[in-house]
A and B are shown apart, each in its own frame.
Chain A
Amino acid sequence: MQKQTKKITHIALFAALIAVSAFIRIPLGIVPLTLQSSAVLITGYYLGPSQGAAAALLYTGIGLAGIPVFAHGGGPAYVLSPTFGYIIGFTVCAWLTGLLANIIKPESILFAYVIMLTGLAGIYIPGVIWLFIAMRWIAETPPSVMTIMKTGLLLPLAGDFVTTIPAAIIAVRIKKQQNPDERRFF
């Protein structure tokens, strides 16, 4: 089989997975967790840096083209939304996670977990920067650094620390099955 066709379908299906994971909510305490960052982490880990980033970029492109795959709909106007930075961050995160996974090649779940926590920085750094820029120049209301840090970083990050655990377990398991000769998922 040609590699190119397989690459295209894998990237497309993983982009669809990132979109679907936004709609799966786990009611955990007060804040419901979405699995979107887990899906991005697994995508980066499984597909590697370039294809993983391509899948996340594809998801962004489809949302901007007007298909309602983002958390609050979609369309080109989403660029103005203060949370668009996190969506840019998905691409960075998938690339970073894939790169680290390719370099370190972790076998254990613990290593995969550490790599994924590093990958989360890829989501939150652009996310927080964009949140600040959007509030400062689009809404024209300079917010304090502390509020941004609290609402944009600490609260969601606490949830992600937890949802990354199942993500690491799953990523290690499906990566092991990547070799078609020994493929057995369950």
Chain B
Amino acid sequence: MSLKDISLGRYVYGTSLLHRLDPRTKMICLLIIMVGLFAGNRWQLLLIAGIYILLAGFISGLTPAYLVRSIMPFKWLIILTVILNALFVGGHILIKAPLPYGGITREGLMLGTIYGVRIGMLVLAASLLTLTTEPVVLVTGVEKLLAPLTKFNIKPHEVAIAMIITIRFVPVLLDEAVKIRKSHAARGFNPKGVINRFKSVSILLLPLFSSAIRRAEHLAVAMECRLYRSEASRTRFKEIRMLGSDWTALSITVLFLLFMLVI
């Protein structure tokens, strides 16, 4: 994992319709598709969801390589699902083996494939959201969606600014950790043996934590010097608005969900 990966997230620049949609629309659509996928385990349901997701992928203008790469971290979960279902579900036996149900069954293989494809589709739908939305815009979307929580004493703006600070400081602290390691090496510290490896943990973590605390305090002072107040109403770097295309996309997704539930 390089530093560049973290600072940029997985966003891929583009100007397609999917890129231009409001982040709230995309998040709600994702939720609807998740509900739809887990509504049952018939293959017709998966077919409709598959058409919907592939259509969205096509509109996004991303090359298939991006989509395939996003499934990769989940490949073992998918493979395991297919194999275990094939082995442990009873039915018509295809290959005999000393297993609880007498071998690999046709029903098990079919069920396993359906479950595996379902997981793959969900991962694909979720990565379409993060591949086409900039982190800053995504955070603004989260902030707007959290607006109803104001009643429970949660301030959406504070959540959003904390998220942005964290995203900004992850690469900074990662750099710092590397620097601390290197400065230890430059002074001849070479951990060998179990006890010394432990010492290396604590002499790495202590400066890292103290520098993070120092940075947090400096940042707070710097923000207040610029008259930051969390309760004041603020403007945003990137404003988001629900347009006609957003409402259209939402209604199409709801139609798909109804279609999935009806059949």
Bound together, the chains give a CA A73 to CA B204 distance in angstroms of 24
Contact present for A68 and B212 (CB under 8 Å): no
Contact present for A68 and B81 (CB under 8 Å): no
Contact of B6 among A6, A15, A39, A67 (CB under 8 A): A67
Residues of A within 8 A of B204 (CB): 24
A173–chain B nearest beta-carbon distance, Å: 7
Bound together, the chains give a CA A20 to CA B229 distance in angstroms of 28
A22-38: CB near B (< 8 Å → 1, else 0) gives 01101110000001001
Residues of A within 8 A of B85 (CB): 140-141
**In the assembled complex, A59 has its CB within 8 A of some CB on chain B:** yes
Contact present for A140 and B162 (CB under 8 Å): no
**In the assembled complex, A120 has its CB within 8 A of some CB on chain B:** no
Residues of B within 8 A of A140 (CB): 81, 85, 111, 115
Contact present for B167 and A67 (CB under 8 Å): yes
**In the assembled complex, B139 has its CB within 8 A of some CB on chain A:** yes
Interface centre among A8, A21, A69, A186 (most CB of B within 10 A): A8
Residues of A within 8 A of B129 (CB): 66, 75-76
**In the assembled complex, B101 has its CB within 8 A of some CB on chain A:** no
- By size class, the interface of chain B is 35 or more
A36–chain B nearest beta-carbon distance, Å: 12
Q: Which residues of A157-176 are within 8 A (CB) of B?
A: 162-163, 165-167, 169-170, 173-174
Contact present for B10 and A66 (CB under 8 Å): yes
B135–chain A nearest beta-carbon distance, Å: 6
Contact present for A174 and B209 (CB under 8 Å): yes
**In the assembled complex, B182 has its CB within 8 A of some CB on chain A:** no
B91-128: CB near A (< 8 Å → 1, else 0) gives 00000000000000000000100010001001101110
Interface centre among A11, A26, A76 (most CB of B within 10 A): A76
A79–chain B nearest beta-carbon distance, Å: 9
Total interface residues on A, CB under 8 Å, equals 64
Given the known interface contacts A76-B30, A170-B209, the answer about A1 and B220 at a Cβ–Cβ threshold of 8 Å is yes
A72–chain B nearest beta-carbon distance, Å: 5
B53–chain A nearest beta-carbon distance, Å: 12
Q: Total A-B pairs in contact (CB under 8 Å)?
A: 204
* Nearest A-chain residue to B209, judged by Cβ: A174
Residues of A within 8 A of B208 (CB): 17, 20
**In the assembled complex, A116 has its CB within 8 A of some CB on chain B:** no
Given the known interface contacts A170-B205, A170-B206, A174-B209, the answer about A20 and B177 at a Cβ–Cβ threshold of 8 Å is yes
Contact of B202 among A28, A139, A169 (CB under 8 A): A169
Q: Which residues of B220-250 are within 8 A (CB) of A?
A: 220-221, 223-224, 228-231
**In the assembled complex, A179 has its CB within 8 A of some CB on chain B:** no
Contact present for B130 and A65 (CB under 8 Å): yes
Contact of B169 among A13, A27, A28, A73 (CB under 8 A): A13
Q: Which residues of A3-22 are within 8 A (CB) of B?
A: 4-6, 8-17, 19-21
Given the known interface contacts A23-B174, A35-B205, A139-B77, the answer about A4 and B230 at a Cβ–Cβ threshold of 8 Å is yes
Bound together, the chains give a CA A31 to CA B142 distance in angstroms of 37
Contact present for B212 and A38 (CB under 8 Å): no
Contact of A66 among B133, B161, B165, B170 (CB under 8 A): B133
State which of B14-22, B57-65, B192-200, B253-261 sits at the interface with chain A: B192-200
Contact present for A9 and B219 (CB under 8 Å): yes
Known: A65-B135, A80-B119. 19 other contacts (CB 8 A): A1-B220, A5-B223, A6-B216, A8-B158, A19-B166, A42-B209, A58-B163, A68-B9, A74-B130, A75-B10, A75-B70, A77-B123, A77-B125, A77-B127, A139-B115, A139-B119, A170-B209, A177-B210, A185-B210
